[in-house]
Structures are given as C-alpha cells and as structure tokens.
Amino acid sequence: MTNPSIDIIVPVWNSPFETRACLAAILRHSPGARMIIVDNGSSRETELMLEEFSEPLGEQGLFMKSERNIGLVPAINRGLARSDGDLAVIVRPHVLVTPGWLDALRTAAQDASVGIVSPVFSGSGASQRLAINSRYDCPFIETFSVSFSALLLKSEMRMQTGCFDEGLDSGEWCLIDYIRRAWSKGYRTGVTSRSRLVCGQEPVFGSDARRKSQARVSWEHYREQWGISRHYGVYFGADTDVAALADAMETIREGSRRGHRFTLLLHRRQAREFRRCGWNCLHTGIDQIRLSMLMPHRDLVRKIGALRESAPEMIMVRWNDDASAAGMEMAIPFAEVAAALRNA
C-alpha cells in the first residue's frame, strides 16, 4: 500500500479540555490525515469548542453532530461510515498521540494480511488487560487484546467485515467479536510496539450493574456465535527437539487466533530455540514460562501448581507419553487438542 489515505475518527462526549488536548496532539503529529470528529450529544460548551476547532481544518476535517448520546459504538460506526480513506484510525479523547505514532501503525498495516492494528498504551488509563501488548522484543505481534482507545482499521477489511455490532458492549466482547469476524475473512489483528500512545483515565458511563449485565449478554452472544474459549497449559517434555514442533506451533497460533489461550512450559534450551525461531512473537495469547535449569522437574511441578491455582479452568496438555511428569497425570495428548481445533 503506497501512501494510503488516512481518516482519524474521534468520538466525543463532553470533557472539552481533555478533548481539545487530544485533537491538538492529533493535528500536530498526524500530517496529511483527515480528521472526522463525531460529537455524540455533547454540552453546548463542548460543541462550541469542536466547531471552533473544526472550522480551520477545511477539507482536512469533517464535523458530525448527534443531538443525543447514541452510545460509543454507534458513534464510531457513524464516523466509519463517512470515512473514505484507505485506513481509518479511531482515537478517543482520553488519549494523547505522540510523534511517529501514525507512521508506525501505517507501516504495520502494509502487510496485506493485516486488517487491524493497535498501538501500545502507557499512562494512568492503560488497562492491565492490555499490558501484555508491551513485548518490546516483538515489533509486531498478533493479538486479541485491543481497545477502542485507539485502533487502526483497513478499509478493504471493513468492506468485507462490516461495522461493529451495536448490540454488544462497548469494549472487550464487541472488539473480540469483530476480530473473529475479520479473521474469518482472512485478516489478522496485531499490535505494534513502535506506536506508543499515552492513555488517560477512560470515562465510565452508566451503573456498574448495567455494565456487568451488558458484558454478560455480550459474552453469551459471543459464545453462541464462536464457541467457548479455552486455556491450555502445554508441556513438551525435556527431550523434545524444537525442530519437531513447527506444525504444533502453527496449530497453537491458529488456536490463539480463535480466542484460545496457551501457556507453554519450556525447558531452558527450548525457550532459547523458540526465541531464535521467532515463536515468542506469534500471538499475545501464547505465554511462555521457562523452567529452571537446576532441578527443572521440581520447578515444573511448582509452576503447574501455581498455574492451577491462578487458572483452575486450564486444561493441561502433554506433547506425547514421554512428556508425562509429576503434576501431569490428568494431562490430555496434544494430538487430541489439535484434532479439536481442526474440527471446530
């Protein structure tokens, strides 16, 4: 993609001072991009500020207004519907963009198979759920952990995938559903550590009970549509040659793209070879735990116990019968997991 055109969509609801700072940073650090500002039923004070800010933009800006707050996802969809750029980037007002942020996102989107790209977030509003995105040794890594705080979408992908589902929540499940729909069309979702944004506290709307209810309904919808996401703990055994695991790692990456999580328990030599192969940067849904070089089997038992305590739903998996160890008595064969993923 050569010099793709970019629209930056900013959904706004009140917070005039924070919003002005966000818009000013976008204007300063995003040369050549068009800004689409969606006023989602803000107060008169915010509306006047947005009109004042938008007027000098000319053809490089579009100001849209709703008379009432229609919700975050509908506001984003309205902005996306007016985007005719090759790339559309959502930025919410509690985020401050930084120098080079847009070029890094655009570079990551040059791969034809990439449809969605997230930056890395820092600051007081960077959620713990997105902390996994900060794998500094991975310039680009596939992920399921993205946020409406800032997100790039490729237009050709949007034409096939459609808009965000307005019946779901305005966060995790709406986004995961969209990522699954994009992958069903052949588009990957990733995060680039070369684009870094500062994230303030995200405004919270509605009661806690209502948000939990909406999240539960959204999860049930996702489960009906895409099935249950599982967490697998995989031990390959001390003597397994990493060269024999190429097909298995491709199966694991495919499972991660479908929302499953994998925790791999690796001996020191295996961990070193995984890094050499680039398998530490396949997907943020794949965690790697390195076992101690001294008394590794004792460390394996200890780490399995800790994992079972923190994630009791995790299913232990052994590569083959030779990979059995204390704590792995109830583990299922990897071939059984691979077959289940193929038939899903």
Which CATH number is 36's domain given?
Answer: 3.90.550.10
Looking at the structure, do residues 201 and 241 belong to the same domain, yes or no?
A: no
Q: For the chain, what is the domain count?
A: 2
Looking at the structure, do residues 78 and 92 belong to the same domain, yes or no?
A: yes
Task: Domain of residue 235: give its range.
Answer: 231-343
pLDDT per residue as tens digits for the range 277-300: 999 999 999 999 999 998 888 999
**Of the residues 225, 240, 258, which one is the last residue of a structural domain?**
225
**Of the residues 199, 225, 251, which one is the last residue of a structural domain?**
225
Six-digit token pair at 69?
């707050």
Q: In 3D, which of 2, 42, 4 has the Cα closest to residue 20?
A: 42
Looking at the structure, do residues 45 and 20 belong to the same domain, yes or no?
A: yes
- Residue 251 within a domain: yes
Mean pLDDT of the chain: 91
| Cα angle 22-135-94, degrees, rounded to a multiple of 5 | 15
Checking if the pLDDT of 51 tops 90, the result is yes
Quote the CA–CA distance of 80 and 166 in Å, as a whole number: 13
**Of the residues 177, 201, 225, which one is the last residue of a structural domain?**
225
Quote the CA–CA distance of 335 and 340 in Å, as a whole number: 9
Looking at the structure, do residues 172 and 274 belong to the same domain, yes or no?
A: no
Looking at the structure, do residues 177 and 208 belong to the same domain, yes or no?
A: yes
Which CATH number is 310's domain given?
Answer: 3.40.50
- Whole-number pLDDT of residue 342: 86
User: What predicted TM-score, i.e. pTM, was given to this entire model?
Assistant: 0.93
Q: Which residue has the higher pLDDT, 125 or 225?
A: 225
Looking at the structure, do residues 239 and 221 belong to the same domain, yes or no?
A: no
Quote the CA–CA distance of 115 and 99 in Å, as a whole number: 23
pLDDT per residue as tens digits for the range 61-113: 999 999 999 999 999 999 999 999 999 999 999 999 999 999 999 999 999 99
Looking at the structure, do residues 268 and 329 belong to the same domain, yes or no?
A: yes
Q: How many CA atoms lie within 13 A of 237 on its CB side?
A: 15
Looking at the structure, do residues 104 and 184 belong to the same domain, yes or no?
A: yes
Residue 15: count of CB within 10 angstroms of its CB: 17
- Residue 1 within a domain: no
